[in-house]
Amino acid sequence: MPTLTETPPVPVATKMTIEEIQKLLPHRYPFLLVDRIIDYVPGHSATGIKNVTINEQFFQGHFPGHPIMPGVLIVEAMAQVGGVVLKQMPGSEGQLFLFAGIDKVRFRRPVVPGDRLVITTELLAARKRFGKMQARAEVDGQLACEGELMFSLVDL
């Protein structure tokens, strides 16, 4: 408990709506793949939600009669949740994080319409203009995808 001479800590939002996410990330429909942030620890980690619906454009061709979310879009969704952490790091204002590498990515189960993708990212390292994150995506507690994502900070 702070004393009278201490300034109380500034509360940090641990959840974010889609409107708050859009203030951080440059992605827009149809490429914004995060619907909500349900947990956030500044400079450390974030957990986000992607509600997968049959209305997604990619299901028209991937695959007719057997819709499966493309693996590259699962990885992109993980990167966007990681971007929520990275975009709030000091010095990232007016800049953009791009993929610099993707390592050890493994797909464990298909993601289909009706699934709720729960994506967790944790910052492993951050140096000047580079960041590395561990990411995982789960559906109903089952691992769907995991891997390490590397980012490079570029000027807009």
Q: How many CB atoms lie within 10 A of CB 144?
A: 23
What are the beta bridge partners of residue 130?
127, 152
Write out the catalytic residue numbers: 62
Neighbouring residues of 8: CB distance < 8 A, sequence distance ≥ 6 = 2
Task: Give the Cα separation of 8 and 11 in Å (integer).
Answer: 9
Which residue is associated with the tokens 């979310």? 69
